[in-house]
Chains A and B, each alone.
Chain A
Amino acid sequence: MSNNPQLNKSGQLQHLLTTEGLPASILLNILDTAEPFVGVTERDVKKVPLLRGKSIFNLFFEPSTRTRTTFEIAAKRLSADVINLNIAASSQSKGETLLDTVNNLSAMHADMFVVRHAQSGAAHLIAQHVRSDIHVINAGDGRHAHPTQALLDMFTIRRCKRDFHNLRVAIVGDILHSRVARSQIHALTTLGVPEVRVIAPKTLLPAKVERLGVHVYYDMAKGLKDVDVLMMLRLQNERMLSARLPSTEEYFKYYGLTPEKLGLAKPDAIVLHPGPMNRGVEIDSVVADGKQSVILPQVTFGIAVRMAVMSILAGS
């Protein structure tokens, strides 16, 4: 772990690229630091001067409105200057390489890059390449990782359930293509959740997924029994074009979260979803808007968690 590219020589977080391989102490420090930021976002002046004068570049090589916006809000509430670059539509289409783009932005005195890329490992590549005073946050790379989403999920779970050590958590849906699921699994196991389940049709599960320390279920009725936390995943429409699923109707019938299926979990179970939701595909509207849903609090907490990550990185 001494070669963890996310940590500097003194073991502090230098980049946030993945939840995999990060010690529990670092994950918990992020969650603890996010707590006071929740209070900041509830004030009249929703802003602190911590990152005043810092320049944060949102490098989105893949379209995303929601994630980019939450990073932008987080940076602005820390008083940083935010520059949004929708690279899919600019220099890359003119043939500039990823590292040339980064070199150019570094020459403009960037302090932090928030990177979203369709290719797994893109944020790692940038982190290895930049000067040591520049920090990189992975905002989703291919099928690999989406650490801030996983951390805001952990924050939401801890707020509702207080402790990780007595929980049964089920992750439901397209595990195969999901960077969110991978980051969730690593975070949950590191934080001491004793039982993490994945529930999905065989065609949407990676081979040998058990190696990540999860229990595999193909059947919602068995998999949801007595769980405390349900983490739903978005069924990406583009997957429907492949031969992995017969139809959205059939998917909803077997894996969509309806009030009946939710009834199999513990009565105080909570339902999470990273958004954007496909109502009637992976989740029934009655559940999405129901009292066990914490989907909108997740969005609110997501800002505080991203503020915490940016502050910790900028101060390391």
Chain B
Amino acid sequence: MQLPEAEDLLAVLTARIRQGISADTAVVGIHTGGVWLAERLHRDLQLALPLGALDVSFYRDDFGQIGLHPQIRPSDIPFKVEGSHIILVDDVLYTGRTIRAAINELFDYGRPASIRLAALIDRGGRELPIAAQYIGTTLDVPPAKMLALEKKADGKLGLSLYDKHQGNE
């Protein structure tokens, strides 16, 4: 299937978010694709608060089924969460379970004034009542396929499609 250009979608997403930011807006990316996007958004939107990153492994709801993910990266929230306006950034919004975990983790750093969600692609298939305020585009992806963001050698972002059983989320 024909995949859109990630860089084009990021330009759309950046323009949409630009309308909604203020001096106390912070972006927090979800590892790994969300962090790449958040780095770009943070730079292009010239945000004052430092960039945050979350690895939600300790908050996932599938620990009982599949155990701990390998290669967990440290979460890093280098600003005061209490009272902040956070835009949570992920590459692909699907079941909503990752976002649920990320929101829970953020609250362990403090009580934010608000959390909004930005995703490059919304592929539908939600299993929880979660919605994004900012998206690059919506895309129908067959359930057996996994859509992932990749960083190319030149630093540009691209999208790839995998068979689910080959990769891990």
Q: Which A residues have a C-beta under 8 Å from some C-beta of B?
A: 12, 29, 32-33, 35-36, 38-40, 43-45, 47-50, 311-312, 314-316
Contact = CB atoms under 8 A, between A and B. Distances in A.
Interface stretch (B4-12, B33-41, B63-71, B152-160): B63-71
Q: Which 3 A/B pairs are nearest by Cβ-Cβ distance? A: A315-B67, A48-B58, A45-B108
Given A312-B68, A316-B67, A36 B55 contact: yes
Given A35-B74, A50-B63, 7 more contacts: A36-B74, A36-B75, A45-B108, A45-B109, A47-B108, A48-B108, A315-B67
B74 A48 contact: no
B110 interface: yes
Binding site secondary structure of chain B: loop
Measured as residues with beta carbon below 8 angstroms from the partner, the interface class of chain B is 20 to 34
B72 interface: yes
Residue in A39, A47, A316 with the greatest tally of chain B CB atoms within 10 Å: A39
Nearest to A39: B74
Nearest to B82: A44
B104 interface: yes
B43 interface: no
B73 A36 contact: yes
B24 interface: no
A36 B109 contact: no
A38 B58 CA distance: 13
Contacts of A36: 55, 57-58, 72-75
B76 interface: yes
Interface in B45-82: 55, 57-59, 63, 66-68, 70-76
A49 B71 contact: no
Contacts of B71: 32
A47 B58 CA distance: 10
A33 B58 CA distance: 11
Contacts of A40: 58, 75
